[in-house]
Structure 1
C-alpha cells in the first residue's frame, strides 16, 4: 500500500511531467560571473525559464537555482538534470521566473563530487562570484522584480547559497543585486560556522538528520548561533529523521564509495531519496518562498 507521502509525491511528479511537456524549452543564455583571478569575467551557461506570460504582466519574482557537485546537467551533456527540471517546473507553476546556472561546464568540469575539497579548481570563491553575477543578470531584466530575488541550492550549491549571502563578505556587501530569500538543501555549514556567518537574507536550510556527507549538526549549530550575531537575518532549518543526502528524489539508497569527502573520509557516503522528507521539504520550501516573495 502506498503511504500518503508517496501518493503526494506521485501526484506531484505527474503534474510536473505534464507541466514540463506543456512548457517551452529553456532559453540558453550567457551570464557574466564577477571577475576571476585574472581580473576578467567568465561567461557562464544559464538556462532561463520565464514564467508564463511573464512579459505581459508586472515584474515577477525570480529564483536562481544552484546545482550541487554533480553539476546542472544530466547524463546527456546538453540537457539539464532531472532535479533541475523538476524544481524549475515547480517554481514556474508558482508564477516565478527561474534561472539555472551552470558553473562547471564553462570551466571544463563535469563533476566535483569525486574530487577532494582541497584539490578542486572550482572553489566556493568561484561559485560565489558566479552567483553574484547571475543575481545582477536577473535584476537587470525588465520582467524580473529586482526586489524579489531568491537563491535555491543543493549540497555544494547549498554551501554556495551560504557563501553568497554572508553579510560580512566584501563581495556580497558590494553586489548591487541582493536576494530577498535563500533556501539551501543539505549544505555544508562547517566553514561558515567557523567564520561566524551572518545571513544577508532570511535563510531556510532543509537537512537530512542521517546525512553522512554534509551533516546536519553544523547547520543546526549555525542557526542556533544567529541570536548572537547582531544584524543577521533570520535562519530557519528543518531536519528530517532518517533522511540522507539527496533525500529530495526518488533515487534508491546507495553507498558512493568514490566520494572522498564526508563524515568518514575514505568510507564513502550514503545518497538516496526519502519520500516523507521529500514531501515535507517541498511544502516547507514553497511555504517559505511564498511568504518571502509575496
Structure 2
C-alpha cells in the first residue's frame, strides 16, 4: 500500500502547473478532471486562475497509471473501475504535495473537481483518515486546514456515490454547479447533497446552470452538449469564486 509521499511521487511528473512566472508563495487551486480524462476545458480554468494571481495544478490521475482515453471511457465512466472513493487518495496526495512547494501558500488552497473529479473530492472529505483508507498507508498525515474552498462542477452524485449523504470531516466554502439537464442526476438529488454539506456549517453556493453534463467541454458526446456562452459564465464564476473565497493577501 502506498504512502502519501509515494502516491504524490507517482502523480507529480504529469501534473500541469500554470501560474505567474515568479517564485512568490501564492494561493493555489488543484484541478481534478472528469472520467474522460484531461480535456481542453481545464487549461482554460487554469488560465483564469493565473489571471487572478493564482497557481493552478491540473492533476492527471490516468497518465501515471498508464490509462488511455479509450480504456477510461469504457471502464471508469461506466463505473467498472476506479470509482471516486478509490481516486480520493489522489486528491489527498495532491494536497500534500502542492502545499509543500515553496511557491504555494499552503494556507490558501482550493480544490476544483469536474464530474468524477468532484466525486473524488467529496469522497476524500467524507472518509475517516485511518491507516489503509483511501488506498493509502497514512492518510491522516495530511492536514486539510489549508483547504479554504471547493469548486464542484456537476459532481457525480449518482447511485455509485454511496457516501454522497455522509457528513464531511472538513467543511470549507463550496460552490456547487449543477447542470439542469444532467443525465446523471436530477437537480433535486444534487440539492439534497448540497443541503447535507451545509449541515456541517459550510457556506454552499448553488448554481443551477441551464446546460447538460460537461457543457463546458468543447465537444459534444451523446446526451452532453457544449454550450460556449454558458462556459464563459462558468469561467467568470470560477475566477470570482477564487477571489471571493480566498482573498489575496
How high is the TM-score relative to the length of structure 1? 0.69
The one of the two structures with greater contact order (alpha-carbon pairs below 8 A, sep at least 6) is 2
Give the aligned partner of residue 234 of structure 1.
203
Quickly say closer, same or farther: Cα 1:236–1:169, change in 2 above 3 A. farther
Structure 2 equivalent of residue 293 of structure 1: 246
Aligned to 1:18: none
**1:84 maps onto 2:50 in alignment:** no
1:162 partnered with 2:122 = yes
Matching of residues 174-213 of structure 1 within 5 Å: 175-177=142-144, 178-190=146-158, 191=161, 192-197=163-168, 200-213=171-184
Deviates more, 1:214-223 or 1:126-135: 214-223
CA contact (8 A) 1:51 1:96 kept: yes
Q: How many residues align?
A: 230
The answer as to 2:244 corresponding to 1:277 is no
Name the CA distance, whole Å, in 1 between partners of 2:184 and 2:111.
22
2:103 counterpart residue number: 143
Residue of structure 2 equivalent to 1:60: 26
Q: Residue by residue, what CA displacement relative to the aligned partner does 1:149-170 show, whole Å, maximum 9, x if unpaired?
A: 111111111212222333x632
Q: Is residue 43–residue 106 contact of structure 1 (8 Å, CA) maintained in 2?
A: yes
Shift of 1:225: 3.1
SS at match of 2:177: strand
Deviations 1:45-67 (A, max 9, x none): 43342522331x3x110111101
Residue ranges of structure 1 left out of the alignment (5+ in a row):
1-32, 73-80, 256-269
Distance 1:205 1:34, change over 3 A: farther
Q: Partners of 2:176 and 2:40 in 1: how far apart?
A: 21
Question: For 1:149 and 1:209, how far apart are their aligned partners in 2?
Answer: 28
Q: Which residue of 2 aligns with 1:15?
A: none
TM-score, normalised with respect to structure 2? 0.80
Structure 2 spans left out of the alignment, 5+ residues: 131-138
**Mapped contact 2:18–2:46 kept (Cα < 8 A):** no
Larger gyration radius, structure 1 or structure 2: 1
Say if 1:68 and 1:153, in contact at 8 Å, map to a contact too. yes
Contact 2:40 2:218 in 1 (8 A): no
